Amino acid sequence: MKSPLILPILLLGAVSALHLNNDALNLETPQTVEDLSPNLEGSGEQEGALALPDKVNQSEGEEKEASGCEDVLEDEEALGSDLEGGLDEDLQCPSEEDTVQIVGSPGCATCRYLLVRRPSRFSGAQHVCRRCYRGNLVSVHNFGFNNRIRSTVSGINQGQVWIGGTIRGWLRCKRFSWTDGSAWNFAFWAPGQPGGGKGRCVALCTRGGHWRRALCKRSLPFVCSY
């Protein structure tokens, strides 16, 4: 009486074993996973960039900061508290031959802008703008004015000039600001910038007018607004 049940049981066991083998093969087969991580590198022309984009994750970013800590510390020292501190009484103001007037912004009839061709560190340039012209390193808030500056500085052989942008804070807390305290509502970064740049001060390229991060201890010509 039991023999008729043996054949179905054997068939059921064979089918179950076949499914188990197939599942094992599927688990061992490697799967191709598309990399969905976003590309955060700058596109080169960014308007209204309010914060420094994170190009790497936090742990990698910390390693990058640590690897260049000597330059960063020197850069901090070059920028230092000079921007808020007292002015050097022995400061020599630029001669008229070392300066070039820049056509003002259409939105400000009383604003004046001056290119100083004598190179200086970022903090020294800010001192000159304050002491000699009662102003600040220039802030840039639209493409039209950025292009005016570019056309004026195009003959400078250093390749870059200081404008008033700086980076404050560390890692994910980095933020850009202007030395005159105005809003950071426009940016015109070069390809790969600002995430791939080095330095805590902002320079404008004489060719193309794009911006780059630069070490504040570099000596460059600069533009004052007053």
Average pLDDT over residues 146-174: 91
- Amino acid making up residue 65: E
Residue 182 has pLDDT above 70, yes or no: yes
Alpha-helical runs (H) found in 87-177:
122-133, 143-153
Relative to beta strand 175-178, strand 211-214 is: unpaired
Q: Which of 150, 166, 155, 157 is nearest to 204 (CA)?
A: 150
How far is residue 78's CA from residue 59's CA, in Å, rounded to a whole number?
27
Average pLDDT over residues 205-225: 97
**Which of these ranges, 11-15, 177-181, 204-208, has the smallest mean pLDDT?**
11-15
User: Is the distance from CB of 87 to CB of 127 less than 8 angstroms?
Assistant: yes
**Which of these ranges, 24-33, 48-57, 108-117, 125-134, has the smallest mean pLDDT?**
24-33
187 φ, ψ (degrees, to nearest 5): -150, 155
Torsion of CA 116, 120, 121, 122, to 10 degrees: -10
Average pLDDT over residues 57-79: 48
Of 3.30.497.10, 3.10.100.10, 3.20.20.220, 3.40.50.2300, the CATH number of 58-85+99-225 is: 3.10.100.10
DSSP annotation of 142: S
CB within 8 Å of 145: residues ≥ 6 apart? 105
Dihedral (CA of 204, 209, 213, 218) sign:
negative
